[in-house]
Amino acid sequence: MATTWIIAADASRARVLQVADRDQQLLEIEDLLNPQGRLHNREINTDASGRFRGQDRPGGHSSDDEQRTGDHYDELFAKRVGDYLEKARNQHRFDRLHLVAPPKFLGALRRELGKEVQKLVAEEIPKDLSWVNARDLERYFKDNGGR
């Protein structure tokens, strides 16, 4: 039987689940955490630029440095997950891979996957299911024809 892994991830967490048996039960084998992914951008930046007011504008606008910092941490975490998957592939720990992540993080993760890992991706689901327990994730895949 081919070993199938499901990666349910977002910017703060990547859960690695394995199809454990012929009944398609999922077993969580790893839980990678990114504490910075849980922080709001204002908590990451202690020297944030704040708001700016133009001479002819009554309102103002915010610096996008905070957003870029948050994106940077997301990209670093996507790289960490990609490196983990590359190492696992080299150890022949899985034969097929399903990626489940919000669209933005799914794109970041896709960019960090090596070519050989990319060949093993059977499905990509642009949803945030990282918080769903294994039993409900099993149900989601059965109801939606996944795996």
pLDDT confidence bin for 123, thresholds 50/70/90 = very high
65 vs 16, residue with greater confidence:
16
CATH architecture of 4-39+64-143: 2-Layer Sandwich (3.30)
Quote the pLDDT of residue 49.
52
Helix (H) or strand (E) holding 105: helix 103-112
Token code pair at residue 80: 């960490």
Please name which of 39, 12, 19 lies closest in space to residue 97, comparing C-alpha atoms. 19
Q: Is the dihedral of CA 47, 10, 34, 108 positive or negative?
A: negative
Per-domain residue ranges for the chain?
Answer: 4-39+64-143
Enter the pTM of the model: 0.77
3-state secondary structure (DSSP) of residue 3: coil
Please name which of 103, 88, 87 lies closest in space to residue 5, comparing C-alpha atoms. 88
Across the range 28-42, mean pLDDT stands at 75
Quote the pLDDT of residue 144.
84
